[in-house]
């Protein structure tokens, strides 16, 4: 007799939308022709090339419309936000011929921005890394006070990828331009697109980066908005593509996917954001139903799709692993920094102790999640955390620093 075992399927609830999103079916359908019959090079003048060029320019118009850009030519397609952020900061500094100068950014930026700033420091530039408050928000006045005569660019993200806190970028632009009109202001808007209104006219920024795979488009394609009249130097040279700002044959299928994702985001914005806020309100009951928990980030100035929660007494990696076994996909921080044993630089900048940072988990949802999935995730998180707290010795976790925000809210470890 042959023994058989039956595998019980584990339902999968994906709550890591800040890392990447599924491709929207409409986006996939729009891309398919350019992965098969419509393979022309957009730089070619024959019919297949002209059709490819038309598709690229249509996508440029779609992205410009999403951002309320004044002209589609202000959109330059890149391989993603990392390249777009690099192009903005390096293009305004070392590639533009500057040998030295001053850059202002914050302590909570994405690694692709912080990495560029550290590289520029090695080349002789000075960088000011502004602090944030305990709710992960930078003070616009601190940006103004940091300006110097040789400041070249200010880079402040629009929404933080780990906590969801939205930064006062429009106010920062107003203050910077009132004191130093020639200083460029750049924002990494990757996490904000399709979650909150992103209008370059209202923001007033000179440069803005985005990535398709963060709002239901394909990976490997992004864009940099460059306000008309702003001069930065290209990183990639050799061809005339992208108005001379980025040499290389365009990724037509990816660009078409980005354009379609932008069109859908604009079309469905109100419905989707209302859904995201509803899911957030449903999720936050976790804070009331599970003791010793704290929301990391701002409750009002926030994305509707993100909740970073400190689960005191439960190691975040253990929570992530146990939830994963139950089919729930979450993150312990930025996907780009996963694998690091260091506590989140964002949470530490907010004042959290190492222990509190190591007990913090990021939940992020999207338009394809349901209320029932959120309820399931809340119940499973309560079970997992309660179990871990029972079997983990206090000394294995550590003691919360008295200066940690949660310590003063009555959530410290007894």
| pLDDT single digits (tens) 172-210 | 999 999 999 999 999 999 999 999 999 999 999 999 999
pLDDT band at 29 (very low <50, low <70, confident <90, very high): very high
The average pLDDT across 93-100 equals: 90
Same domain? For 197 and 69 the reply is: yes
Which tokens go with 162?
């780990």
Domain containing residue 193: CATH number: 3.40.640.10
| CA neighbor of 200 nearest in space, from 84, 69, 363 | 69
Query: For a pLDDT cut of 90, what percent of the chain falls above it?
Result: 82
Does the residue 159 lie in any domain? Answer: yes
Indicate the angle between helix axes 252-267 and 47-67, nearest 10 degrees: 30
CB 133 within 8 A of CB 139: yes
Domain boundary among 228, 245, 267: 267
pLDDT in tens, 335-381: 444 445 688 999 999 999 888 999 999 999 999 999 999 999 999 99
Helix (H) or strand (E) holding 294: strand 293-296
In the 8-state DSSP scheme, what is residue 332? S
Does the residue 402 lie in any domain? Answer: yes
Query: For a pLDDT cut of 70, what percent of the chain falls above it?
Result: 90
Same domain? For 342 and 262 the reply is: no
For residues 88 and 347, give the distance between their C-alpha atoms in angstroms, rounded to a whole number: 26
Catalytic hit among 112, 310, 336, 400: 336
Domain extent for 139: 25-267
Which tokens go with 92?
């305004």
pLDDT in tens, 62-79: 999 999 999 999 999 999
Is residue 336 annotated as a catalytic residue, yes or no? yes
Same domain? For 52 and 201 the reply is: yes
pLDDT confidence of residue 406: 65
| CA neighbor of 256 nearest in space, from 55, 29, 40 | 55
Domain containing residue 379: CATH number: 3.90.1150.10
Same domain? For 236 and 188 the reply is: yes
Same domain? For 204 and 331 the reply is: no
Which tokens go with 185?
């202001």
Does the residue 19 lie in any domain? Answer: no
Does the residue 35 lie in any domain? Answer: yes
Which tokens go with 89?
């900061």
Reported residue count of the chain is: 414
CB 108 within 8 A of CB 265: no
Same domain? For 81 and 143 the reply is: yes
pLDDT tops 60 at residue 168: yes
pLDDT confidence of residue 161: 97
Same domain? For 247 and 277 the reply is: no
Does 367 or 413 have the greater pLDDT score?
Answer: 367
For residues 348 and 359, give the distance between their C-alpha atoms in angstroms, rounded to a whole number: 12
pLDDT tops 60 at residue 22: yes
pLDDT confidence of residue 95: 85
Does 331 or 247 have the greater pLDDT score?
Answer: 331
pLDDT tops 90 at residue 334: no
pLDDT band at 411 (very low <50, low <70, confident <90, very high): very low
Domain boundary among 201, 234, 267: 267
pLDDT confidence of residue 396: 62
Total tally of structural domains belonging to the chain? 2
Least confident of 18-32, 49-63, 293-307, 379-393: 379-393
Same domain? For 116 and 34 the reply is: yes
Does 269 or 96 have the greater pLDDT score?
Answer: 269
| CA neighbor of 370 nearest in space, from 362, 360, 378, 381 | 378
pTM score: 0.92
The average pLDDT across 326-332 equals: 96
Same domain? For 244 and 350 the reply is: no
pLDDT band at 407 (very low <50, low <70, confident <90, very high): low
pLDDT confidence of residue 240: 84
Measured between alpha carbons, how far apart are the two ends of the chain, in Å? Answer: 56
CB 292 within 8 A of CB 413: yes
The average pLDDT across 68-93 equals: 97
Residue whose tokens read 């003063």: 408
Strands 222-226 and 207-211: antiparallel
């Amino acid at each position: 007799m042959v023994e058989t075992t039956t595998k019980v399927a584990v339902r999968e609830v994906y709550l890591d939308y800040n890392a990447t999103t599924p491709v929207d079916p409409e986006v996939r359908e729009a891309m398919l022709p350019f992965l098969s019959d419509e393979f022309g090079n957009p730089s070619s003048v024959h019919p297949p090339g002209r059709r490819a060029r038309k598709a690229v320019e249509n996508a440029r118009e779609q992205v410009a419309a999403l951002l309320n850009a004044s002209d589609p030519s202000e959109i330059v397609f890149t391989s993603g936000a990392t390249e777009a952020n690099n192009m903005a900061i390096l293009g305004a500094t070392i590639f533009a011929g500057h040998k030295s100068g001053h850059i202002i950014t914050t302590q909570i930026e994405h690694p692709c921005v912080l990495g560029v700033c550290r590289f520029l420091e090695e080349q002789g530039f000075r960088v000011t890394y502004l602090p944030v408050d305990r709710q992960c928000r930078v003070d616009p006045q601190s940006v103004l006070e940091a300006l110097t005569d040789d400041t070249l660019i200010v880079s402040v993200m629009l929404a933080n990828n780990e906590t969801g806190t939205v930064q006062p970028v429009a106010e920062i632009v107003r203050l910077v331009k009132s004191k130093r009109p020639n200083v460029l202001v750049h924002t990494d808007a990757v996490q904000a697109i399709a979650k909150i209104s992103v209008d370059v006219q209202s923001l007033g920024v000179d440069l803005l980066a985005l990535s398709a795979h963060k709002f239901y488009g394909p990976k490997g394609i992004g864009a940099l908005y460059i306000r008309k009249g702003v001069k930065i130097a290209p990183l990639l040279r050799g061809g005339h593509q992208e108005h001379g700002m980025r040499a290389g044959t365009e990724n037509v299928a990816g660009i078409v996917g980005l354009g379609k994702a932008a069109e859908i985001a604009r079309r469905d914005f109100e419905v989707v954001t209302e859904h995201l806020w509803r899911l957030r309100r449903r999720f936050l009951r976790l804070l009331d139903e599970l003791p010793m928990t704290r929301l990391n980030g701002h409750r009002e100035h926030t994305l509707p799709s993100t909740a970073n929660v400190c689960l005191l007494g439960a190691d975040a990696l253990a929570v992530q692993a146990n939830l994963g076994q139950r089919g729930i996909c979450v993150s312990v921080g930025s996907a780009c920094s996963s694998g690091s044993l260091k506590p989140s630089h964002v949470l530490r900048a907010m004042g959290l102790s190492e222990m509190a940072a190591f007990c913090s988990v990021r939940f992020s949802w999207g338009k394809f999640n349901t209320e029932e999935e959120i309820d399931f995730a809340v119940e499973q998180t309560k079970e997992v955390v309660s179990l871990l707290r029972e079997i983990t010795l206090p000394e294995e976790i550590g003691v919360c620093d008295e200066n940690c925000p949660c310590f003063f809210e009555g959530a410290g470890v007894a």
